[in-house]
Amino acid sequence: MSSTEQGTSSAAPAEPTTAPESAAAPEVPESFYYVHGKDKVVHKVSAGALQHSALIHGMISNLGYTEEQAKANPFPFENIDGDILQMVVDWCNQHKGKPTPPEDTNLPKQKEKLFDLVLAVNYLEIKELLTYCCKQVAMMVKGKSPEEIREIWMIPTDAEDEAAEKEAKKRAGKEAAGETAAAAGDAK
């Protein structure tokens, strides 16, 4: 579905391996765009698949980004890990032009990856996938006791929160004192 290339954005992207269109439908050449995450691995995605992401779709339609420009300068998403972006791209390709099913069983079950995915999907504004991910996050604590929920979601207790706040204030105070001392030293 999606082709992944190791290397920089200038590397020539591989040919897409999209599903064959029905024989009766007139063949319209599909345009492709390129995205890369934190690991600089370039992913080739069809325009149809990118329709899911309101952010990228907006960038293409509002900025008039052509296929050639996209090839030379892939969309950079430095705040998204490579494997997470790969997951998102795969999902977009799988659900290209299809009605989204009520359940998606292919979502990651690991806690960290799921939260990463939620943040990435929220950033890319993929509504359907965000709904699945949020549902998956909610399912993590279904039927669990408050203590278990706190452990699974790593929710600090009110006391821990207060202690962390105090610590942060203390540290900020120390840093400020250090800076003033350094400034006084420089002045001397």
- The residue ranges that bind another protein (CB under 8 A) are 111-112, 115-116, 118-119, 122, 130-131, 134-135, 137-139, 141-146, 149-150, 153-158, 161, 171, 174, 178
Length of the chain: 188
Q: Based on CB atoms, which residue is closest to another protein, 97 or 143?
A: 143
Task: Measure the CA–CA gap between 95 and 92, rounded to whole angstroms.
Answer: 5
Which letter does DSSP use for residue 159 in this model? Answer: H
Contact 56, 110 (CB under 8 A): no
Q: Based on CB atoms, which residue is closest to another protein, 58 or 178?
A: 178
Nearest distance from residue 155's CB to another protein, in Å?
5
Q: Based on CB atoms, which residue is closest to another protein, 68 or 158?
A: 158
Nearest distance from residue 17's CB to another protein, in Å?
32
Task: Take residue 64 and report the two structure tokens written for it.
Answer: 């008039």
> Cα torsion for 147, 151, 154, 155, to the nearest 10°?
0
Nearest distance from residue 98's CB to another protein, in Å?
23
Nearest distance from residue 79's CB to another protein, in Å?
12
Strand arrangement, sheet containing 75-76: 3-5, 42-46, 32-36, 75-76
Q: Based on CB atoms, which residue is closest to another protein, 21 or 162?
A: 162
Q: Based on CB atoms, which residue is closest to another protein, 19 or 142?
A: 142
- Which residues make Cβ contacts (< 8 Å) with residue 21, sequence separation at least 6? 27
Nearest distance from residue 87's CB to another protein, in Å?
14
